[in-house]
Structure 1
Amino acid sequence: MKNIILFDPVEARDRLLPLTLTRPVALIRHGITTISEKWQKAIPGAYSYSTQDYLSMKYPMVEATDGDNLFIAGNLHPDSKLVEAILALKIGEALTFNGETIARRGNGNPTSETEYDGTPFRLSNVWDIFMLNDEAIRRDFELLTAGRSSRLLSDSCRLIGDPSQLFIEEGATVECANINVSKGPVYIGRDAEVMEGACLRGPIAMCEHSVVNMGGKIYGATTLGPYCKVGGELNNVVMTGFSNKAHDGFLGNAVIGEWCNLGAGCTASNLKNTYAPVKLWSMAEGRFIKTDLQFCGLIMGDHSKAGINTMFNTATVIGVGVNFYGAGFPRTYLPSFTEGSPLGMKPVIMDRFFDTASRMMSRRHKELTPIDKEIYINIREQSAE
């Protein structure tokens, strides 16, 4: 069995903040599955992660006793060409792309390098998560449904397009919904639910136990991670898991972490009134950077919350553990572990944050562990520097 270590490329990790504050790069959900899950299907083996020191408490790196470790950049999607090139590596060899190491075999510095002659599909910026989600869903759909049969769609629903582009897992409930697969596939995961009056236009991925409430309007390319509940209007949104936007309001071209909640009527702009390209706050560089994007909505880290009727400006970045409420627009960057309104933000009281997180997680039978608390304390200390 191969021992595979998915490592965080430093530049990619920084440009994927705030998602990578709380997880290794390879645990970002993109398409239907996380990047790590994609690799586990592509190359069977024992997997671990090389990541930030404070995250290693939860995600330790496990090295093979004989030193034969296969290191792969955690922002890469596997494909047959890339997998073949990586498996061809010998101990001491590295695979590079544009001079950057994307895989290597063995411990220590490589003694030889081979430049990859393909074009890897990878995440280089946080906006790539939604910009490239269409392709990611299509790849995962083909991989996960090949040779399998979907559950039959209820007669109460209307399907537009090729039936082979709809896949419903066991335990899912879909009633009186309109589903359009003419522009891309729709995947409905195990025990997921699509309620009456919902409209889905692919490509869409609903992971296990995710829910679209009555009358929800979901456009591609959207991913609803495990146990996410949504309503209102979503367009090209990636929700990592265990997060809610259950009521009316608009969210587009957005990335939402785990354990987030957007209150009733919450709406986020994804287009400036001037139609100009947007700038986005870089948490790594501490400044706004050009994106060349015309559409960019909300980027929200884990365990952040927004009160009812919250309005977010185009290209707003919110860190981990933020609690925003009150009338008016917040700034387009809210640092981790702050709370308040447009009248002012203040530091979050950590004991109160832990209480809230524990209550929210217990509803999904998950536990906030002492290691989780230590990770959040580390993030809080980083954001205060």
Structure 2
Amino acid sequence: MNIIFFDDSQRDHLLPLTFTRPTAKLRCGILTLEEKWLKRLDESNTYSYLTEDYLSTKFPLREEGEDLFINPAVCPDADLVEAVLALEENESLMQGDILIATRTREALMEEAEQDTEVLDYEGSFNYISRPYHLFSNNAAELEKDFALITAGRQSAPISKTNTLIGERIFLEEGAKVEAAVLNSTSGPIYLGKDSEIMEGSVIRGGLALCEHATLKLATKIYGATTVGPHSKVGGEVNNSVIIGYSNKGHDGFLGNSVLGEWCNIGADSNNSNLKNNYEEVKIWDYVAGRFAPTGLQFCGLIMGDHSKCGINTMFNTGTVVGVSANIYGGGFPRNFIPSYSWGGSGGFMEYRFDKAMKTAALVMERRSIELDSVERDILQVVFDKTATSRG
């Protein structure tokens, strides 16, 4: 079966996270959105992406004529997968305005919706159409992913130096944890391959610590949190998602937040996740071009790929930071920081593209990954597309 993961009409509402990736590459729970589907379908299936043109070199589209298009923003369960697999050619599965999947020869979603028979899906699912949906759905998705990944398997041994509360703890091969408190009564705790929890850490699940990720000494985690591959985290973290390859390695609070890849949070930096008047949080919406309501009382920091902040940075409730921003200095910076901005509470200037790429190359080199021309071209498009927001 040839699967094509398509970005739906809501993808721009997921900016800045989708500036540099298709929707399928976002992470919620343990797995990325595409991995949730592939593990339930058949991981031997071929798959590709229908996304923005400037992303298509890195995330190409491969058509075979009889393709199954899947909306990865819809998080699957067994019932939904069964309904999708039952689709015949020229049939689409929808719920309201949400196109879930279609089996068609058409590569354009608009044509597919017009030319196929529509079947209504009556079941429930989590739908990721805003950045804050990643952390607000993280507890439920972590539970589903944990059950899916660990079914019929046995955890690697857990050291007796740890204090264990509850039994929903699973270690993959090479995972290490010593002298920590692990409480899985409120959510499962999953440690990916070659991950590590250092001594003195206190974990109240759910927690997904993905492969090669690290929790540093005396880290405190509570409220479903995901630390993506090759990330390092310390301090206090509540109900947050780190997609991967990012660091928050020191003391300071991160709550109800999402960090992209290649981000770095300086020591003793904090974000607010609750307004002083306890009102609903609004955050910047790229489509509307203004601050839009979230329906949430708790919402912290949304940060795009390659952005960094210096030590003691203070982020206000509901702050959105674009791609490749560099933030530093005292006081609270504004709560929408455009991509390629350089500065802080005293004001911002444009972060020169060549300087941003030099930093990105050095950061990626530390993980033995090259900033190649494909990645650089994507970041150049983001720089150009966001120029007016810096104006």
Tell me the TM-score normalised to structure 1 length.
Answer: 0.97
1:105-144 aligned at under 5 Å gives the runs: 105-108=103-106, 109=112, 110-144=115-149
Q: Within the alignment, does 1:330 sit opposite 2:333 as a pair?
A: yes
Residue 48 of structure 2 corresponds to 48
Give SS of 1:331's match. Answer: coil
- Per-residue deviation at 1:250? 0.4
Kept in 1: contact 2:37–2:72 (CA 8 A)? no
- Per-residue deviation at 1:100? 3.2
Residue 62 of structure 1 corresponds to 62
Once the two structures are superposed, residues 259-302 of structure 1 have per-residue CA deviations (whole angstroms, 9 ceiling, x without a partner) of 00000001000011111111111012110101121100000000
- Per-residue deviation at 1:331? 0.3
Which of 20, 23, 34 is 2:21 aligned to? 23
Residue 150 of structure 1 corresponds to 155
Give SS of 1:26's match. Answer: helix
Which of 262, 269, 277 is 2:265 aligned to? 262
1:284-295 aligned at under 5 Å gives the runs: 284-295=287-298
Q: What's the RMSD between the two structures over aligned residues?
A: 1.0
Alpha-carbon distance in structure 2 between the residues aligned to 1:292 and 1:101:
24
1:355-374 aligned at under 5 Å gives the runs: 355-374=358-377
1:207-356 aligned at under 5 Å gives the runs: 207-356=210-359
Range moving further from structure 2, 14-23 or 118-127: 118-127
- Per-residue deviation at 1:369? 1.1
Structure 2 spans left out of the alignment, 5+ residues:
107-111
Task: State, as a whole percentage, how many aligned pairs show the same letter.
Answer: 50
What amino acid does structure 1 have at the position aligned with 2:224? A
Task: Point out 4+ residue stretches in structure 1 off by more than 3 angstroms.
Answer: none
Q: Within the alignment, does 1:78 sit opposite 2:76 as a pair?
A: yes
Once the two structures are superposed, residues 105-132 of structure 1 have per-residue CA deviations (whole angstroms, 9 ceiling, x without a partner) of 1123333111112122221221110000
Once the two structures are superposed, residues 7-30 of structure 1 have per-residue CA deviations (whole angstroms, 9 ceiling, x without a partner) of 00112x122111111100011011
Alpha-carbon distance in structure 1 between the residues aligned to 2:242 and 2:251:
16
What amino acid does structure 2 have at the position aligned with 1:119? S
Alpha-carbon distance in structure 2 between the residues aligned to 1:371 and 1:152:
41
Once the two structures are superposed, residues 301-337 of structure 1 have per-residue CA deviations (whole angstroms, 9 ceiling, x without a partner) of 0000000000000000000000000111100000011
Alpha-carbon distance in structure 1 between the residues aligned to 2:98 and 2:34:
20
Give SS of 1:143's match. Answer: helix
What amino acid does structure 2 have at the position aligned with 1:362? E
Kept in 2: contact 1:95–1:104 (CA 8 A)? yes
Alpha-carbon distance in structure 1 between the residues aligned to 2:193 and 2:32:
16
- Per-residue deviation at 1:352? 1.1
Give SS of 2:333's match. Answer: coil
Structure 1 spans left out of the alignment, 5+ residues:
none
Alpha-carbon distance in structure 1 between the residues aligned to 2:16 and 2:120:
31
What amino acid does structure 1 have at the position aligned with 2:24? A
Alpha-carbon distance in structure 2 between the residues aligned to 1:31 and 1:100:
22
Alpha-carbon distance in structure 2 between the residues aligned to 1:80 and 1:112:
23
Tell me the TM-score normalised to structure 2 length.
Answer: 0.95
- Per-residue deviation at 1:87? 1.1
Kept in 2: contact 1:99–1:115 (CA 8 A)? no
Give SS of 1:280's match. Answer: strand
What amino acid does structure 1 have at the position aligned with 2:136? M
Alpha-carbon distance in structure 2 between the residues aligned to 1:172 and 1:118:
37
Give SS of 2:36's match. Answer: helix
What amino acid does structure 2 have at the position aligned with 1:192? S
Alpha-carbon distance in structure 2 between the residues aligned to 1:154 and 1:102:
43
What amino acid does structure 1 have at the position aligned with 2:146? F
Alpha-carbon distance in structure 2 between the residues aligned to 1:279 and 1:75:
22
Range moving further from structure 2, 210-219 or 90-99: 90-99
Residue 109 of structure 2 corresponds to none
- Equivalenced residue count is 379
- Per-residue deviation at 1:89? 1.2
Give SS of 2:84's match. Answer: helix
Kept in 2: contact 1:324–1:340 (CA 8 A)? yes
Give SS of 1:58's match. Answer: coil
Q: Within the alignment, does 1:187 sit opposite 2:190 as a pair?
A: yes
Alpha-carbon distance in structure 2 between the residues aligned to 1:101 and 1:38:
17
